[in-house]
Amino acid sequence: RILESQEVIVTKPGGGRILVKEINPAFESENRFIDEIKQAAILELIEARMIIEIGIIDLVCQNAEDEELYDLKRILEKTHENGVITDENTDFIFHYSLAKASKNSVLVNFIELNLNLINEARNINFDNKDHVIAAHQEHTLIIDALISRDAVKAKQAMAHHFSKIKQRMEEKQHN
């Protein structure tokens, strides 16, 4: 699927998969090819996470203790002082904490299992201060809506957050 999205192969019903692009000439180096595959995998993970994490919102609103949400807000505030992220894992901690607050172990395991790709996405998204500040503001909107138990607003904020992640990644890819 990743190679298909990169237009390296096509799948023909009854005909199998066919190489449509020479790998070596199509990419400057083997590393670039690997980077392209990794980038496509990260974008697909982000699409999956967007679906799952928007779905988490209802469970968080139903199952999270107020104190869990306030603790997460304090963590966000503490780890992000004056636009400087003081803990590199803040993004993971935020999303992982939401999964834990949902009280659904499958969702927690999903986040844990995808930690490496999540870290790759974070490295791309948080490579400059503006992205860090924007992500922090997006997280704050999500947690504030959750504290208010406003699932609709939290889902909108989460969808916006993931669309911005994809936008930042695509901008990085084209630079």
Q: Give the tens place of pLDDT for each residue, 66-94.
A: 999 999 999 888 876 655 555 667 778 88
The answer to whether 79 and 85 have CB atoms below 8 angstroms apart is yes
pLDDT at 173: 66
* Distance from C-alpha of 149 to C-alpha of 147, rounded to nearest angstrom: 5
Looking at residue 154, its pLDDT comes to 97
**In the predicted model, what is the mean pLDDT of the chain?**
80
Q: Please state at what angle helix 105-113 crosses helix 90-101, rounded to 10 degrees.
A: 160
pLDDT at 157 over 60: yes
Sign of the dihedral defined by the CA atoms of residues 13, 47, 121, 104, in that order: negative
* Chain centre to alpha carbon of residue 75: 19
Is residue 138 within 8 A of residue 146, CB to CB? The reply is: no
More confident call, 4 vs 107: 107
Say yes or no to pLDDT of 98 above 90. yes
In this prediction, residues 59-67 reach a mean pLDDT of 96
103, two tokens: 């009280």
100, two tokens: 């834990």
Question: Which of 134, 143, 157, 145 shows the shortest CA–CA distance to 85?
Answer: 134
Mean pLDDT of 117-135: 71
Cβ atoms < 10 Å from Cβ of 92: 16
Across the range 32-49, mean pLDDT stands at 75
* Helical H segments across 6-150, by residue range: 23-26, 30-63, 66-79, 90-101, 105-113, 115-125, 129-147
16-19/80-81 β-pairing: unpaired
